[in-house]
Amino acid sequence: MKNINIIVLVYILLWLSCNPVTVEHTERSDYKFELMDSIKIGIPYKLQFLSKKLENEKFLCYSQVENKFYLIRANGEILSNFNNQGEGPEEYSHNILQAGIYKNKIYIQDNKNLIKFDIKNSKTWKNSYQNPFYIGTGGGIKNKLLFMNDSIWINPIPVTEVVLGSSRKTEVLDTISIIQIRKFDIELGISEIIDEIEYERGSINKSDEIYPNFNVIFDIDDSGNIWVIYQNEPSLYNYKINKSNKLLLFQHSQLDINYFKEPKGVSEKELDNPKNNRSSQLKENPEITLNRNILIQLSAINSQIYDIFYTENNTIFIMYRNGIPDKYFPEDDIWYYSDESKNFGAIIKEMKVIDSGISLPEHNSTKLNPYNTLYIGENKWLVLQDYEIEIDHQTAYIYELIKYN
């Protein structure tokens, strides 16, 4: 009898080794966000943060309604505001790609120039550059302008890719395929490319399915090193720049974070299915298949990392969503889907996951996102409210990330 039990046990172990059991993450995080305080910002229009962290107790915001930049203290006091949009020598065009603040100087990048302003918003210089990949961004300003040092800045290139299959179909996906490293020369008045990091464009084909390739996102640490992560793959890269101004991959780590699902794709048959397209547009353009329903479906069911912050002491904080349930079917209306995903955070220190599955706070319908979240130091975050802006001001909440277990 004892021998039979041993044989049965061996068979069970062999079966498990050939058929690994997928265990859903149920670990509770040791960290949580606590609401500590709030500040009022005397601007009655929706704002967008253009700083990832405080710069000498100040941060930069943008109001799309007014086309106006605001420089604000950490306590909510407005220091200055300006709108220099135009075609003059001290102005920038309406095609603003990035903006940010670095060492008490404000930098704005449009589709042709990098313009530097001092803290009182007087132009210091304008630096031209060639951007052959430029496409209109629409909406707000997509990126926060980041610097590696006093003369080297980051120019991420968003490219609209059209993925063509064997039959009549197109799938348009916006990806950041290149991160350019540019150095400006004040005397020559130009910014030249000194190096770049290239990433796969468009979608990813694996076996018989097509997977979306979401943007790569990044941040700069205090030493000017770049931390890069794919949105749909928890794989962290750390690049350093050498004395010849060339990028070197210094560290790379595949992260195991709780509640992050494996990427999902769709088959070519699904992409070619006429039910996934607007009939009116198909009649007008029979050679084109828009497949926006599939794009929405792919975006919804895939876990996504949507922001990365270098905080301090070689520590990274990432924000991500876990995707909605596996058994998801889009409604007939291609613009509708039910987003049941949840938002989490993860702490990475020295390329290792310290904790993950940290529930991100929600207060008055406000969720942390790349446009409304700012790290203010000492494990504290400033989060702009998304809705219910008052007649003469809006509120920003201060949260602290604390360890309670």
DSSP string, 301-357: HS-EEEEEEE-STTEEEEEEE----SS----SSTT-------EEEEEEETTEEEEEE
Residuewise pLDDT in 10s, the chain (405 residues):
445 444 444 443 344 344 333 333 345 689 999 999 999 999 988 889 999 999 999 999 999 888 899 999 999 999 988 888 887 777 788 888 889 999 888 898 888 888 888 776 566 677 777 665 544 444 568 789 999 998 899 988 765 444 444 333 344 444 556 888 998 887 777 888 899 887 765 555 555 676 666 678 899 999 999 999 988 888 899 999 998 889 999 999 999 999 998 877 777 666 554 444 444 444 454 444 445 556 556 666 788 898 999 998 899 999 998 876 554 455 444 444 456 778 899 999 999 999 999 999 876 666 777 788 999 999 999 998 876 667 888 899 999 999 987
The pLDDT value given to residue 35: 93
The pLDDT value given to residue 280: 44
CB 145 within 8 A of CB 154: yes
Kind and range of the H or E run holding 299? helix 292-301
- For the record, the structure tokens of 105 come out as 């100087």
Specify which residues 249 forms β-bridges with: 239
What are φ and ψ of residue 371, in 5° steps? -95, -15
| Residue with tokens 């509708």, as numbered in its chain | 336
What are φ and ψ of residue 206, in 5° steps? -130, 125
The pLDDT value given to residue 117: 84
- For the record, the structure tokens of 241 come out as 């720049």
CB 104 within 8 A of CB 119: yes
The pLDDT value given to residue 130: 63
Distance from C-alpha of 351 to C-alpha of 361, rounded to nearest angstrom? 25
CB 109 within 8 A of CB 99: yes
The pLDDT value given to residue 205: 56
- For the record, the structure tokens of 207 come out as 């076996």
Specify which residues 235 forms β-bridges with: 254
Distance from C-alpha of 31 to C-alpha of 287, rounded to nearest angstrom? 52
The pLDDT value given to residue 302: 80
Residue 224 region by backbone torsions, left for phi larger than 0, else alpha for psi between -120 and 50, else beta: left
The pLDDT value given to residue 9: 42
- For the record, the structure tokens of 298 come out as 């792919």
- For the record, the structure tokens of 382 come out as 């400033």
Kind and range of the H or E run holding 300? helix 292-301
The sheet that has 247-254: what strands, in order across it? 216-220, 226-230, 235-241, 247-254
DSSP E strands, 27-135: 31-41, 48-49, 58-63, 68-73, 78-82, 96-102, 105-110, 113-117, 123-128
CB 67 within 8 A of CB 140: no
CB 177 within 8 A of CB 198: yes
The pLDDT value given to residue 223: 92
Total length of the chain: 405
One-character DSSP codes across 54-74: -BTTEEEEEETTTTEEEEEET
The pLDDT value given to residue 32: 93
The pLDDT value given to residue 236: 93
One-character DSSP codes across 131-174: -TT-----SS--EE--BSSSSEEEEEEEEEEEEE-SSS-EEEEE
